[in-house]
Chain A
Amino acid sequence: MDPTRTNAITARSPWALSRSRLRRDRLAMASLCVIVALVLMALLAPLLVRVLGLPGPNVQNPDLLDDFGQPTGPSAEHPLGVDDRGRDIASRVIYGARVSLEVALIATALVVAIGVVVGLVAGYYRGRVDAVLGRLMDLFLAFPVVVLAIGLGVACADGCLGGALRPGMMVVITVIALTTWPYMARLVRGQVLSLREREFVEAARSLGASDRRIIFGEILPNLTAPVIVYATVLVPQNILYEAALSFLGVGVDPSRPSWGAMIADATAIFRDAWWFMAFPGLALLLTVLAFNIVGDGLQDALDPRPAH
């Protein structure tokens, strides 16, 4: 044996280690595949519907309703049946993924942006700044979500903020963001309170780094893991939020298929048309479950502490 040849132990970055841990979690990987499929389904909805030979999501066909206006069930032409307007449910479930993901991802991005900034400032500066921002968080946490959604929907029926805020998608995203950012802010604040006492922060301060440099250059990178994990948990929560608001009639425009709105419309005729509720409900369940499992997997993968 050549003594100069040794098995080199390659040093791996924390990210590489995390990726490796995640890949070993088969359930998380399977869920990730589901999410990828969902995203592709949303992005390619028009193509998918055409390839499958389905009608558009808003095409009404009254011939598919019986003499009592009740929808017909799954068939060769309409594998998931039709709804009470004669619209193809498979097509609407596919397009519904767009609404769910759009709302959830945009709202989550806003929550992360606002929550991280506020949490960073509150946790770093503490004292009066923390107290004021803390009360601000409490104020927004006290907002009743549904009432706010209804109020904004009515008040901005003809557009607010120069037409930027209109009933539908914008109101839903705004309401979710406004009522959810405090949770992110509190999480970040707690992390920052701990991190600001660490040696690397002390070192940076002693080298004359400004507060801004410390906050965004030293502390923020160490928040990446918990923020990503929490964001992954927020996404399914926001999907459910959107579904709930649509169920209550204060969600997206009725012309855009939404799983929540479909479930709401199906409630009255569930006994005679189970497919109308079952398939969007199943889609919602699978999506939320997939995100939750991936979130758990990420938490395990990114957590550097040894398993108990």
Chain B
Amino acid sequence: MTLNIRLLSLALLSVLAVALGACGGDDGDGAPAADEKRKGGTLTELAAGDVDYLDPGRTYYQFGLQVQYAISRPLYSFVPGKVEEPVPDLAAEMPEISEDKKTVTVRLRRGVRFGPPVSREVVAGDVKYAFERFFSANVGGPYPGHFSALVGAPSEPTRGVKSIRGIETPDDHTIVFRLKEPVGVTFASALVMPVTVPVPADYARKHDARNPSTYNRYVVATGPYMIENDGSGRLTGYQPGRRITLVRNPEWDPRTDHRPAYVDRIVIRTNATDTEIAARQVIRGKGMILDSNPPASVLRELVTRIKDQYVTLPAGGYRFFTLNTEVKPLDDINVRKAISAAFDREAARKARGGRYVGEIATHYLPPGMPGHEEAGGLKGPGVDFLSAENVRGDMELAAEYMRKAGYPSGRYTGNEELLVVGANADPGKAQAEVARAQLEKLGFKVRLRLVPQDALYTRWCLVPARKVAMCAGASWFRDFQDPQSMLEPVFKGSLINRDGPNNNMSMLNDPQVDAAMDLAAAAQGENRARAWAEVDRLIVERAAGIPWLWDTTTLVRSKDVAAEANPYTTLWDLSYTAIRAEE
């Protein structure tokens, strides 16, 4: 009996010890508390490829922006957790927009300095130069359309850097943008883009004289970090296709910046091409983050087992299958509504990776974008052919619309063959095959062309002459946080460019929609969000496309990393990432 009691006690003690052990330790749910973050250490990021550019006048892709916003300060930027509105960064306060919306004035913060080798205070002339070089042929800024409203903005890339008379600098800390049209609200929203990062003319001019500009290898920092360079400014910390090394910028003053900049050093490996291996290294390693979405097999492990080493956030865009309103029989709105009603959007999402890649879209403005909630949020505006309740497709409703279009059987019985174009590699290929299956189930004859991704837009979807009935790989992601930039380029009839490149792939040319856009463009604040939500609803009702996904981005970190996501780049914010203190 005594022995049994001893054994029982031992067993109970063992169970207690195990239970205590399980209860202890870090639960690590999402971003850890601020007191767990410590200054110092080296953060490693694994990336499958290189940045597009380090030159702020040329970079345009997410990864390039992530690095850019760690080494540079645009006029406005985003703080983690606050996606609705940017905060002043290089600017001292929010922009002033004149009553007639043709003048935007920005006052610069004092005390922001260029890093070595320039090592001086940033002045308004540096921002003016940044804009002017952006329009030059040697730099070739990738989004001139966003700033073409500037008075004196060149319509073609300039030979050499030319002054733009619409940008004035009355003093060293004031910059005034004069616009040809009353688009001040949209213009101000675009001041988060990297073109607003200051570039010192005295230092950069000799690089910009070359074609292409060599400033990409001599970028000078204004942010908390800089890329290691030699005395002349040449970036020794940038090994293309291999590594980018960021160190602290000695000229950075934390009192002028919202960024905490915890770590001392950031090593970005740009040759971790096997994303599965890279993701597993990050999960099992220390002090690491991953630059991109993990593959499905790793995502499954994160969601079902690991749980505390990833975050998801809206990617700020929408994917849609275009319906060309000028191609028969899609010129009939009832046919378009039928296709939309029948379309299995869940199948398309699964082709892309399942429910963890994003929410099923019910309209265009994505979560986090002003106007999304006003347009109905996740449930959408409530049209029957694109509702949240029929994501699997409703064949009866589709048949009804087909009968309204003059097909008594409820299926297409005509002779037209629809040209559907998609990418020739997954997941675009999978999406395209889903699209074909959805059209064929309504009786349409489909000719599916699978083309390389880089030709999908430039040679097919953006070329009206190709008469692509459905572009199966269409998407639109924000350049800045304004609904006009999400809807106008893609659906405004007056912007159709028949000679290409044409962003209005649906060829939607509806005067009522255009008029609503013109009205919404002039609105501000909450009225603006409501007005663009109304435009969103009108576009949905025209069935010009089938929006099917609002992407989410999944970001992965090591267990000891305390990281926060930047809602604009939708990647980890390098300036807000820390290595947690050892326990």
Chain A residues engaging chain B, CB cutoff 8 angstroms = 58, 60, 62, 65-70, 84-86, 157, 249, 253-255, 265, 268-269, 271-272
Contact = CB atoms under 8 A, between A and B. Distances in A.
Contact of A69 (B276, B303, B352, B424): B352
Contacts of A157: 449
Contacts of B349: 69
A50 to B, nearest CB: 19
Closest 3 CB pairs of A and B: A69-B354, A62-B347, A68-B354
Main secondary structure on A side of the interface with B: loop
A65 B350 contact: yes
Given A69-B350, A268-B426, 10 more contacts: A60-B433, A62-B347, A67-B355, A68-B354, A70-B296, A70-B300, A84-B351, A84-B426, A249-B424, A269-B296
A157 B459 CA distance: 13
A65 B354 contact: yes
Contacts of A66: 300, 354
B155 interface: no
Interface in B474-496: none
Contacts of A69: 296, 349-354, 357
A58 B440 CA distance: 11
Given A62-B346, A254-B448, A265-B426, A68 B296 contact: yes
A265 B351 CA distance: 13
Interface residues of B, number: 31
Contacts of A68: 296-297, 299-300, 303, 353-354, 356
B269 interface: no
8 contacts: A60-B347, A60-B434, A62-B346, A62-B347, A68-B303, A68-B353, A254-B450, A268-B295
B344 interface: yes
B557 interface: no
Contacts of B426: 84, 265, 268
A5 to B, nearest CB: 74
A136 to B, nearest CB: 33
Nearest to A255: B448
Contacts of A70: 296-297, 300, 354
A62 B425 CA distance: 19
A60 B448 CA distance: 16
B430 interface: yes
B87 interface: no
Contacts of A86: 347, 350
Interface string B436-463: 1100000000001110000000000000
Nearest to B427: A69
A156 B511 CA distance: 40
A9 B423 CA distance: 70
Nearest to A59: B437
A66 B350 CA distance: 8
Contacts of B354: 65-70
A249 to B, nearest CB: 6
Contacts of A255: 436, 448
Nearest to A253: B448
Nearest to B346: A62
B281 to A, nearest CB: 16
A149 to B, nearest CB: 14
Contacts of B243: none
A62 B433 contact: no
Contact of B434 (A85, A265, A269): A85
B459 to A, nearest CB: 10
Nearest to B300: A68
A60 B439 CA distance: 13
Contacts of A65: 350, 354
Nearest to B347: A62
Contact of B350 (A62, A254, A265, A268): A62
B297 A269 contact: yes
B280 to A, nearest CB: 11
A58 B434 CA distance: 10
Contact of A272 (B297, B430, B437): B297
Interface in B77-112: none
Interface in B305-352: 344, 346-347, 349-352
A85 B351 CA distance: 7
Contacts of B352: 69
B429 interface: yes
Contacts of B356: 67-68
Nearest to B295: A268
A269 B427 CA distance: 12
Contacts of B448: 253-255
Which of B296, B344, B426: most chain A Cβ within 10 A? B296
